[in-house]
Amino acid sequence: MRIVILESSPNRHGSSNLLAERFAQGAQEAGHQVAFVDVAHADIHPCTGCVHCGYEGPCVQKDDVEGIRRQLLAADMVVFVTPLYYYGMSAQLKTMVDRFCAFNSSLQAKHLKSALLAAAWNSDSWTFAALEAHYQTLVRYLNLQDMGMVLGTGCGTPSMTARSPFPQAAYRLGRQLHRSAGLVEFPYILFFSKLFHIFSNFINCHFLLPHNRYKSSEHFTFRIRRTDSSSRSLVILPSFTAFSTA
């Protein structure tokens, strides 16, 4: 799977980028291709709302967005990475998201997987409420498949973040993508489910479908009943507890 990570912190060595590095490490170990795009330091002009593109390009502005567009449309997954600025995404990431306008239809047709990695100094229960709502709206509008979030509270400095559980949570999210529904193993699950249907007199399959917000109880299971009354369960998607958004 090809993953494009959109980093948006003005601080190249900041907390949110630390989470992105750990996510990338896990994803690469799982066999995925990862490309970083530093939208905070790229030449990206704000959208003027002229709609000359007709929502499907080309954009009249000539900057780095055309190259980013090609990367996103060739990818299977996009990861939004941002520090929390006044309870929303950074202006740099919002500027990039606004420029999706020129290839809006193509993005919607891609049905990309997505994830959100964010870091904030605050630790209130509502710290990420606005950002999470915005992200979920993007997921809905762009026909994305949310694979999870790492919302790092109390990550005021890179050293604070490094001592927190969130870098490991980001690593786990990337590392476990190969076991997640809709990713690498999902076609095989569909294949075997058809076989199970053929032998329905002998096999009983049970699904717990993943919610957009991972909770500690969510997973996939296949339960095979044998004539000797023994059973065996195969957990396809382990529970995510370190970054539960419940």
pLDDT tops 90 at residue 203: no
102 forms beta bridges with: none
The CA–CA distances, whole Å, from 189 to 56, 62, 117, 224 equal: 35, 44, 28, 14
How many whole angstroms separate alpha carbon 173 and alpha carbon 213?
13
List the structure tokens of 164: 């927190």
What mean pLDDT is predicted for residues 13-32? 97
Output 108 or 227, whichever has higher pLDDT: 108
CA dihedral 151, 132, 117, 87 (to 10 degrees): -80
Q: Comparing 140 with 209, which gets the higher pLDDT?
A: 140
Specify the pLDDT at position 211.
41
The model's pLDDT over 179-192, given as tens digits with 9 standing for 90+, comes to 543 433 334 444 44
- The residue with greater pLDDT, 224 or 210, is 210
pLDDT value of residue 241: 31
Mean of the pLDDT values across residues 36-59?
Answer: 95
Q: Residue 208 above 50 pLDDT?
A: no
CA-nearest of 183, 188, 238 to 1 is: 183
In what helix (H) or strand (E) does residue 145 lie, and over which residues does it extend? strand 145-152
Which of residues 235 and 137 earns the better pLDDT score?
137
pLDDT at 73 over 50: yes
Average pLDDT of the residues in 14-37: 97
8 A C-beta contact, residue 36 and residue 76? no
pTM of the predicted protein model: 0.74
* CA separation, residue 19 to residues 64, 116, 120, 170 (Å): 24, 10, 12, 6
Averaged pLDDT of the chain = 80
Region 168-195 average pLDDT:
62
CA distance 20 to 4: 11
Average pLDDT over residues 38-54: 96
